[in-house]
Amino acid sequence: MTSDYNFQKAREAWGDKVVAPTHRVFQEWLNNPLTKALKQSHKNEIEKLAQWMIKKGYATGHGDTIEDLLQELDWQIAENWNRALIAGITTEREACAKLVEILIPEQTEDGLIGHTIAKAIRERGEQ
């Protein structure tokens, strides 16, 4: 079905009230000051989001729409969150291992107990 067919059916159903948009009407709509202002406003919002992302150190990719930019931002935030989480866990694990070495200085035949426990803690992070 073409748009001409749809227009014909609409005309049959609703009569002369249905008017096909002409090139002139479409051009008038495009050149309407309100239409231009809305387009510019939307462009400005896209640019604001892109500038915010860049300022915060995020890549904008090839984002031409707000949706594209938000998708680009989404995976970067998730990746940064995971990286920070892993770094925090690694730091905390090392702090625990050092604390055990200090708090348990006893010696056995196999070596210092604290060093043995600390080694096990560090190895757990390498699994």
Tens digit of each residue's pLDDT (9 = 90 or more) over 39-80: 889 899 999 999 999 999 999 988 889 999 999 999 999 999
| Cβ–Cβ under 8 Å, residues 21 and 15 | no
Indicate whether 23 pLDDT > 70.
no
The reply to whether the predicted model has a pTM over 0.75 is no
Average pLDDT estimate for 6-33: 68
Average pLDDT estimate for 74-98: 93
| Cβ–Cβ under 8 Å, residues 60 and 50 | yes
In terms of C-beta distances under 8 Å and separation of at least 24 residues, what long-range contacts does 118-126 make, across chains too?
121/93, 121/96, 121/97, 122/93, 122/94, 122/97, 124/93, 125/89, 125/90, 125/93
Strand runs labelled E in 1-127: 107-108, 111-112
Indicate whether 18 pLDDT > 70.
no
One-letter amino acid at 116 equals T
Indicate whether 1 pLDDT > 60.
no
pLDDT tens per residue across span 96-118: 999 998 888 887 777 788 888 88
Name the residue among 94, 113, 92 with its Cα closest to residue 103: 113
Q: Please count the residues of the chain.
A: 127
